[in-house]
Amino acid sequence: MADNKKSTTDEKRVSQTSKTTRQSTNHNGAQTNAQNAKKAQMKTPEELEKARARKAKKIRRRKRKKVRRIILSYLMLIFLLVCVIGGYIVYEKFGKQVLTYRQEAIDLVAASSEKTFRQDETSIVYDANGRKIREVTGEKEVYYKTYDEIPAYFVEAMVSVEDRRFYEHNGVDYEGIMRAAYILFKNNGNITQGASTITQQLARGIFLTNEVSYERKIKEIFIAWEMEKKYTKQQILEYYLNTIFFSNFYYGIGAASKGYFDKDLDELSVSEVAFLCAIPNSPTYYDPRTNYDHTIERRNKILNDMHELGYLNDLEHQTALDEKIKLAEEKKISHDYVETYTNFCATEALMEAGGFEFQYKFDTIEEQHEYNERYRSTYDEYYSTLYTGGYQIYTSIEPKKQKLLQKTIDETLSMDEDKNEETGIYNLQGASTCIDNSNGRVVAIVGGRTQEELQGYSLNRAYQSARQPGSTIKPLIVYTPQLERGYTPATRVDDTDFEKANMPENSGRTYSGMISLAQAVAASKNVVAYRLFGQLTPEVGAEYLLNMNFNYLTIEDRQNMAACLGGLTYGATTVEMASGYSTIENDGEFRKPTCIVQITDSQGNVIVEDKIKSKAVYELNASRMMISMLQGVFTGGTASGLGIPGMSCAGKTGTTDNNTDGWFCAFTPYYTMSVWVGYDTPQATRGLWGSTYPGRIWHDFMTEIHDGLKDLGFPDYEWVRSTMDWKDTRSSSEDSEDEDDKKKKKKKKKKEKPTETTESTTQPVAPPPEQPTTEPTTQPTTQPTTEPTTQPTTQPTTQPVTATTS
């Protein structure tokens, strides 16, 4: 009871205290307000205004914060909605597909066994009639070795150079992927480095194609994961080392060891092991038979990596570096020109189907070298699949025409039997390409003379050797472009010699004064072509060649006036020249030259479609005017007497200085054909002109394949009045001249009063030309003979000055 009273008393005391406190607070607050009011009355108007401004600013700031919170809330809501919707769309578009890839990988690996990694399928090549030409087998030797039979050095070498973290990852090296992602960003999205582990490389080689795409990469990763679950590291290494390509048709280390050293694996030294392991990274670039120094350089890198990782001690490392590698004698197997060309075309067709983008124009040498490296690497990947992919390769090659073209070249050049003392190959050689004008595809191709006693891969000069094209380049780089700019076959042009030294001269140093453009073409007038090229500029002229995929055109050629006379750094191939002339015949529409019609895989799925793509290079009317003038070359020009009876013909001859190279490029309504004759190492050739051996080969072959064909003629061009008034253009193509030279020019112009005729389209007939007798010019002494790439890998240090042609 007392406690209750105490509690009540305490409550009253607390209540009384609280009341007192409130009263005190109220009193103090009232007192403070009174004081503030008193102080406010004491403030000046300016101070009062500032105070009000500060208060208003605080209010505005609170309002802005409130609005900002509301906006951020809405933005967050919108962002979440976008994430949800975007995630749903991504899942619908890609997620299901990725899950499909994952399931496919699980099924593929689950169904695989050791036999999966031992088998391969042979590709088959068919001719234009659908008949089997051959199987793509070559010397595909396979000596399978189990893991126990593989020396430790092989495993250590491959792991060192290809996949250092092989024993740590689960099939995918995420550090490598990060490096590849950085390089991908650095190269603006171009896939240049795959970051593939040994497991991924094996997955790609066995289960996938070499297509460069993100989809394939995803599939590759999933398959690699599944393989690491099913197979041990030792099994993966065994399968990998037995399936990789070592160039020269050797698949697996057993075949490579036998092929390059004629030894079993256990007989190889560590240096020889590293030498072999250098090859698969780029089987063409590191081909020991053709690029021995490249292989040695990479061997040294592998030995250094093995030393760094502790696989070799100092003594073993130095001993291996000092060891001289001696290759066994190469086993010879015969391969004809159709085989080499169909392999090349099929490889590039597969590359294109896989997404590779070909490039022909470069602004810098560095850009060109970077592209060449990318091209070579991709080419090697796809080339190796020809021997294991089981492709059905359908081509446009016509066996009868192929056999006839080879026979024609052999017989025409049979009068010269001189051979190279070291190689035993005929010194005087010829090459030719024949294209069907209806589709732009190659029907026959010959890269040299037949020699039954020789075996092994022969250089296919038709597409692998670029040579100075002489005057045959003029219609492509000078005349047809100028016909687009107002010239006509009847336009009067100046055929007088240059007054300065070291300038081009006409064949036989003969000049005709003022003549029509048609006469200049028929008689192959160098000074006319040079003056017109000066107006056009080399940069513009070269663009036409680049648009027709001329592989060997260099940066220097695009600035070189001598290019208009065939004075190119490397030159052109017969495939390129035939394709260029076929473009003119096809009303200016270019079609990439190839012999591939269609490629299917072993299940019949179409990989390369039977589809002809074209692009406009020349204007239609300009092309038809050019055809009209090229007909004059046969009727009264440098190709007189080489025409086919009863068949329309148009074309051009070409002969370089000292009769080093002879060319004939011409077409009918049915076929276009280019022919080159000369020596592999350029040298003067007695009796060689465009109209002799090359012209005779063209005439004999084309006459026979046109037997029974009706002359369809060429379409007429639309006659137009030229807007070009002739003018002396020598100043645009010569160096600066002194005042005396300028005065002479003025006097000459007054006397000649240039005019342009506007006659009918009937073409004048030019007198037969004399043979070229001018001074020699600088020319490359060697020609590229390595595995084909789309561009030369090095730039020359000298430029041709001129190339006297006929």
Q: Per-residue pLDDT tens for 379-392?
A: 988 998 888 888 99
Return d(Cα 347, Cα 341) in angstroms, integer: 10
157: pLDDT strictly greater than 50: yes
Return the pLDDT at 623. Answer: 97
14: pLDDT strictly greater than 70: no
Which residue in this structure is represented by tokens 């040498």?
Answer: 365
Residue with more model confidence, 70 or 564: 564
Work out the pLDDT band at 330, boundaries 50, 70, 90.
confident
792: pLDDT strictly greater than 70: no
Return the pLDDT at 36. Answer: 56
Q: Retrieve residue 451's tokens.
A: 């020699």
Return d(Cα 309, Cα 292) in angstroms, integer: 26
* Of the candidates 630, 634, 625, the residue with the CA atom closest to the CA atom of residue 487: 625
Return the pLDDT at 468. Answer: 95
The stretches of 444-573 forming alpha helices (DSSP H) are 461-464, 474, 480-483, 517-522, 526-536, 538-547
Return the pLDDT at 561. Answer: 96
Percent of the chain with pLDDT over 70: 78
Which residues are 251's β-sheet partners?
Answer: 245
Return d(Cα 471, Cα 123) in angstroms, integer: 41
Return the pLDDT at 3. Answer: 46
Q: What is the pLDDT of residues 523-547, one digit of tens each?
A: 999 999 999 999 999 999 999 999 9
Which residues are 666's β-sheet partners?
Answer: 651, 673
User: Which residues touch 487 (CB under 8 Å, ≥6 apart)?
Assistant: 517, 532, 722, 724
Q: Give me the mean pLDDT over the 683-696 stretch.
A: 94
Edge-to-edge strands of the sheet including 428-436? Answer: 441-446, 428-436, 671-679, 661-667, 650-655
Return d(Cα 230, Cα 238) in angstroms, integer: 14
Please spell the DSSP secondary structure of 9-32, one letter per residue.
HHHHHHHHHHHHHHHHHHHHHHHH
Contact 372, 571 (CB under 8 A): no
Lowest-pLDDT range of 528-542, 705-719, 777-791: 777-791
Q: Retrieve residue 417's tokens.
A: 């039997």
Coil, strand or helix at 615 = strand
18: pLDDT strictly greater than 70: no
Lowest-pLDDT range of 198-207, 431-440, 688-697: 198-207
Return the pLDDT at 59. Answer: 81
Phi-psi region of 390 (alpha: psi -120 to 50; beta: other; left: phi over 0): left
Q: What is the mean pLDDT of the chain?
A: 82
Which residue in this structure is represented by tokens 């022919």?
Answer: 675
DSSP type of residue 352: H
User: Which residues touch 289 (CB under 8 Å, ≥6 apart)?
Assistant: 247, 248, 327, 330
Return the pLDDT at 781. Answer: 34
Return the half-sphere exposure (C-beta side, CA atoms, 13 A cut-off) of residue 468.
39
Percent of the chain with pLDDT over 90: 56
Residue with more model confidence, 89 or 291: 291
The values of phi and psi at residue 324, to 5°, are -85, 125
Return d(Cα 468, Cα 485) in angstroms, integer: 27
* Of the candidates 643, 365, 343, 613, the residue with the CA atom closest to the CA atom of residue 463: 343
Which residues are 123's β-sheet partners?
Answer: 136
* Of the candidates 380, 362, 360, the residue with the CA atom closest to the CA atom of residue 294: 380
Radius of gyration in angstroms for the set of CA atoms belonging to the chain, rounded to a whole number: 39
Q: Give me the mean pLDDT over the 297-314 stretch.
A: 95
The values of phi and psi at residue 224, to 5°, are -60, -40
Q: Retrieve residue 217's tokens.
A: 């990469």
Contact 664, 637 (CB under 8 A): no
Q: What is the 3-state secondary structure (H, E, C) of 92-152?
A: HHHHHHHHHHHHHHHHHHHHCCHHHHCCCECEEEECCCCCEEEEECCCCECCCCCHHHCCH
Return the pLDDT at 69. Answer: 82
Work out the pLDDT band at 249, boundaries 50, 70, 90.
confident
Q: What is the 3-state secondary structure (H, E, C) of 698-752?
A: HHHHHHHHCCCCCCCCCCCCCCCCCCCCCCCCHHHHCCCCCHHHHHHHHHHHHHH
143: pLDDT strictly greater than 90: no
CA angle 244, 250, 253 (to 5 degrees): 55
pTM of the shown model: 0.70
The values of phi and psi at residue 752, to 5°, are -90, -20
The 10 Å Cβ neighbour count of residue 589 is 18
Sign of CA dihedral 277, 278, 284, 290: negative
22: pLDDT strictly greater than 70: no
Return the pLDDT at 19. Answer: 52
Q: What is the pLDDT of residues 576-603, one digit of tens each?
A: 999 999 999 999 999 999 999 999 998 8
Q: What is the pLDDT of residues 408-449, one digit of tens each?
A: 999 999 999 999 888 889 999 999 999 999 999 999 999 999
Work out the pLDDT band at 368, boundaries 50, 70, 90.
very high
Return the pLDDT at 39. Answer: 55
Residue with more model confidence, 27 or 504: 504
Q: What is the pLDDT of residues 394-412, one digit of tens each?
A: 999 999 999 999 999 999 9
Sign of CA dihedral 557, 563, 567, 570: positive
The type of residue at 536 is: L
152: pLDDT strictly greater than 80: yes
Q: Retrieve residue 287's tokens.
A: 């081909």
793: pLDDT strictly greater than 50: no
* Of the candidates 673, 697, 712, 613, the residue with the CA atom closest to the CA atom of residue 443: 673
Q: What is the pLDDT of residues 751-780, one digit of tens each?
A: 333 333 323 333 333 333 333 333 333 333
737: pLDDT strictly greater than 50: no
Q: Give me the mean pLDDT over the 202-208 stretch.
A: 85
